[in-house]
Amino acid sequence: MLNTIRFFLPTKIVFGEGVIPDSLPDIAHYGKIPLIVTGKGSARKSGLLDFIAGTLKNRNISYHTYEGVSPEPSTDDCMKVARVAAECGADTLVAIGGGSAMDVAKAAAVLVRNQGPIQTYFGEEKFQNEPLPVIAIPTTCGSGSEITRYAVIIDRQSNTKKTISSERIIPKMAILDPAVIRTLPRNLIAGTGMDALCHAVEGFLSTKANHLTRIFSRESVGLILDSIEKAVQHPRIEYLSNLLLGSLYAGFVINHTGTIFIHGMAYGMTIRHQIHHGTANAICLPYALAFLKAHNYEEEILELERIFSIDSIFEINRKIGIPIHLGELGIKQEDAHILAEMAVKGCERSFKNMKISVSKEEFVEIFSSML
């Protein structure tokens, strides 16, 4: 018998090569004064920002632009965007970028309409007033943020990543064009693609998984494993399309299941050693799966092993340029203790999605084995 299935998706999704110009005018349904929120250069450099700006002008839609989101954004980024949005009277936020731009836009959408420090809103449904509507145009193939309820932000006060989680920050519309991913550097195709794979796998193993999310997990894992090496070596549209779709499906999954301890482990690697979010997850993935197999998750891992072996993840990482060992990144034995402490903190939320929790000593062991 099937377990209870809950599935909620309020986002209008348009997916396909060349869909941006015809879809953009729809943002007028959500507001009259959009603020484009993007990173520090890549959308401008790739020509996407000019293309979108030109399309909006041609349709007589006036807009404002904020081009300053950091690659690993903190609470400061969110407050800056909220301030700019309030100053220009924006009533819609259009996020162009990877998880960073989209998450900052979602958090800023909350801050514009709710007074008080951002820390007040970390956690589940912690704000009162309806946030500004967000439209998302992802330029990476990994975060799934274009359809998720999460804004994950570095909080310097607690030195970890914190999450604003609410169905009300799920973007109203997501426009996904795989052609946009063509200009993404190959290390980011690799890192963001593996981030999406981790979302699909972690969601599969979450205690909140249900029959429907597992269908999307399997489909996502299949699409990503089938295409990631080819996409990194030859970024052709068919491979990028598979990665972007795999990332979207993995977003459907984590929107309901959350992630498990792999993301929590990787947060410290990003904050302390500046390792890209998806790359850090990809490095942790095979070690974490081996740990779970020996700690009360044997049945679930065996089910996953019908699709891929744990060893094959090492092989894929090697082929797409992701390190196998932390030593390759200059991380040393003494760092294992600090990373373990950060992992315990970073996993606060994810332990709620797991059958077990992992102690600091066990994290030290895992990180030591990764050296």
Q: Which is nearer to Fe ion, 146 or 195 (CB)?
A: 195
Least distance in Å: CB of 72 to Fe ion? 12
**DSSP secondary structure string for all residues of 132-183:** PPEEEEE-SSS--GGG-SEEEEEETTTTEEEEEE-GGGS-SEEEE-GGGGGG
- Number of residues binding to Fe ion, judged by CB under 5 A: 1
Q: Looking at 103-111, 122-130, 191-199, 245-253, which segment touches Fe ion (CB under 5 A)?
A: 191-199
Least distance in Å: CB of 264 to Fe ion? 11
Q: Looking at 45-53, 188-196, 211-219, 342-350, which segment touches Fe ion (CB under 5 A)?
A: 188-196
Q: Which residue has the tokens 């959408």?
A: 109
Q: In what order do the strands lie in the sheet with 134-138?
A: 12-15, 173-176, 134-138, 92-97, 34-39, 64-69
According to DSSP, residue 185 is labeled -
Q: Looking at 169-177, 195-203, 266-274, 297-305, which segment touches Fe ion (CB under 5 A)?
A: 195-203
Report the distance separating Cα 82 and Cα 106, nearest Å: 10
Report the distance separating Cα 4 and Cα 232, nearest Å: 39
Mapped onto helix, strand or coil, the DSSP state of residue 370 is helix
Q: Which is nearer to Fe ion, 56 or 304 (CB)?
A: 304
Least distance in Å: CB of 199 to Fe ion? 6
Residues of this chain, 296-325, that bind Fe ion according to CB under 5 A: none
Residue nearest to Fe ion (CB): 195
Q: Which is nearer to Fe ion, 20 or 205 (CB)?
A: 205
Q: Which is nearer to Fe ion, 195 or 335 (CB)?
A: 195
Residue window 58-97: x/- pattern of binding to Fe ion, with contact defined by CB under 5 A:
----------------------------------------
Residue 188 in tokens: 């980011």
Least distance in Å: CB of 263 to Fe ion? 6
**Under a CB-based contact definition with an 8 Å cutoff, are residues 226 and 323 in contact?**
no
Number of H helices and E strands in the chain, helices first, is: 14, 9
Q: For residue 284, what is the enclosing H or E element?
A: helix 277-293
Query: Maximum CA pair distance of the chain?
Result: 60
b/e burial code for range 295-309 (CB count within 10 A of at least 16 → b): eebeebbeebeeebe
Least distance in Å: CB of 142 to Fe ion? 7
Least distance in Å: CB of 80 to Fe ion? 23
Q: Which is nearer to Fe ion, 133 or 268 (CB)?
A: 268
Q: Looking at 12-20, 53-61, 119-127, 187-195, which segment touches Fe ion (CB under 5 A)?
A: 187-195
Residue 360 in tokens: 């600091």
Q: Looking at 2-10, 194-202, 206-214, 339-347, which segment touches Fe ion (CB under 5 A)?
A: 194-202
Q: Looking at 27-35, 69-77, 193-201, 239-247, which segment touches Fe ion (CB under 5 A)?
A: 193-201
- With CB under 5 A as the contact rule, the residue among 72, 77, 146, 195 that binds Fe ion is 195
Per CB under 5 A, 335 contacts Fe ion: no
Q: Which is nearer to Fe ion, 37 or 284 (CB)?
A: 284
Q: For residue 198, what is the enclosing H or E element?
A: helix 186-205
The residues that touch Fe ion, with contacts defined as CB under 5 A, are: 195
